[in-house]
Chains A and B, each alone.
Chain A
Amino acid sequence: MTDLQTTRLAELFERPETDARRKIIRAVNVKKIYTTNNTETHALRGATLDIFQGEYLSIMGPSGSGKSTLFNMIGGLGKPTSGKVYIDQVDIAQLDHNELAWLRCRKIGYIFQSYNLIQVMTCLENVMLPMAFAGVKGEEAREKGLYILKLVGLGHRPLNKPAELSGGQQQRCAIARALANSPEIVLADEPTANLDQKTGAEMIDLLAKLQKELNVTIVSATHDLKMLKTSDRILWIKDGRIDKMARPDEIDFTSSEFH
Chain B
Amino acid sequence: MQIVMASNKNIIQNQVRLPLSVALEVVLQGLRTRLGRSIVTITGVVLGIAFLMSILTGQLAREGVGRETQTRAEISRMLNFLVAETGPLKDRVIGVIQTGNRSPLEDRFLSSLADEGPKEVRWHSVQGAPALSVSTPRVEAGAVGQDASAILLIGDGGAPSLDWNALASGVRQRVFAATYPLDGQAINNAGTVIELLRQPRAEEIAKQEQDDRKAAFRATWIIIISLGVTVIGISNAMLMSVTERFREIGTMKCLGALSGFIRTIFLIESSLMGAVGGLAGTIVGAIFSIVAFGFTYGLGLVLSSMNWGLLIVYGLASLVAAVVLSIVAALYPANFASRMVPATALRTNI
Chain A interface residues (CB < 8 Å from chain B):
11-12, 14-16, 72, 77-79, 88-90, 95, 97-99, 101-107, 110, 112, 116-121, 125, 129-130, 132-135, 137, 140, 143-144, 161, 177, 181-182, 184
Contact = CB atoms under 8 A, between A and B. Distances in A.
Contacts of A106: 6, 256
Nearest to A14: B5
Contacts, number: 111
B257 A90 contact: no
Given A78-B343, A101-B256, A104-B256, A133 B1 contact: no
**6 closest cross-chain pairs (CB), A and B:** A105-B256, A78-B343, A120-B33, A133-B256, A135-B16, A72-B343
Given A104-B255, A116-B247, A79 B346 contact: no
Given A101-B257, A118-B251, A144-B3, A133 B15 contact: yes
A97 B13 CA distance: 11
A133 B9 contact: no
A178 to B, nearest CB: 9
Given A105-B255, A133-B255, A98 B14 contact: yes
Contacts of B22: 132, 137
B85 to A, nearest CB: 79
Given A88-B10, A102-B13, A116-B346, A97 B341 contact: no
Nearest to A32: B343
Interface of B: 1-3, 5-10, 12-16, 18, 22, 29-30, 33-34, 247-248, 250-259, 261, 341-344, 346
Contacts of B344: 78
A207 B15 CA distance: 26
Report which residue of B12, B252, B342, B344 has the largest number of chain A beta carbons within 10 angstroms of its beta carbon. Answer: B12
B265 to A, nearest CB: 12
Contacts of B7: 16
12 contacts: A16-B7, A78-B343, A98-B258, A102-B256, A104-B253, A105-B256, A116-B251, A132-B18, A133-B15, A133-B18, A161-B33, A184-B9
Contacts of A107: 9
Given A112-B346, A120-B34, A182-B3, A129 B15 contact: no
Contact of B342 (A12, A77, A182): A77
A77 B18 contact: no
Contacts of A15: 5, 9
Given A89-B10, A98-B14, A130 B256 contact: yes
A77 B14 contact: no
Nearest to A116: B251
B255 A79 contact: no
Contact of A102 (B15, B29, B247): B15
Contacts of A89: 10
B16 A134 contact: yes
A118 B33 CA distance: 11
B32 to A, nearest CB: 8
B9 A88 contact: yes
Contacts of B3: 11-12, 14, 144, 182
Contacts of B342: 72, 77-78, 104
Nearest to A88: B10
